Amino acid sequence: MYSKEQASKLKEAFWTTFGQYIAPHPSAEGLKVNWINYKTGIRHLHFKMQADHRSASIAIELSHPDPGMQELIFEQFSAFRKLLSSYLNEDWDWQLHLTDENYKTVSRISKTLEGVSIFKEEDWAALISFFKPRIIALDEFWSDASHSFDLFR
């Protein structure tokens, strides 16, 4: 078991390592991008990567405080479901209106990798191999589809 400080330092070390590994890769539009804090340009719409002691996940998260607006954005993503799957080369889990770890209502489109730990350096290669192609695929999808979400800006 790690202290809060040790856990925080290990997480920071992983995300720094991941950031350095993926930084040379330009966005789909050829621009420099902060992959870890990816900006969609739409408030309450985030591409999130998370890892803890037993799993890792990457998600499109809709956190609009109005559940009706969340549902509208979720429906817009649903219209692009086949296109999104074609970029990702896999199906993700679609969850409308769930309660997150902060007890807020969010909606997520996500993929999870079980059996890995951000606290085990020997798992870092697996975590990077999980996150990198998926965040790049999300960026490519977003480059093509983002204009269809302009009404939510």
Give the model confidence (pLDDT) of 143-152 as tens digits.
Answer: 999 999 999 9
Range of 75's domain? 4-152
User: Which stretches of 23-123 are DSSP H helices?
Assistant: 67-79, 81-88
Q: What is the pLDDT of residue 15?
A: 98
Q: What is the pLDDT of residue 2?
A: 82
Nearest to 53 by CA among 126, 123, 5: 123
Q: Are 100 and 50 in contact (CB under 8 A)?
A: no
pLDDT band per the 50, 70, 90 thresholds, residue 43:
very high
Q: What is the pLDDT of residue 1?
A: 72
Q: What does pTM read for this prediction?
A: 0.95
Whole-number Å distance between alpha carbons of 71 and 105: 11
Q: Which residues contact residue 71 at a Cβ distance below 8 angstroms, ignoring those fewer than 6 apart? A: 96, 97, 107
Whole-number Å distance between alpha carbons of 26 and 33: 7
Considering its fold, how many domains does the chain have in total? 1
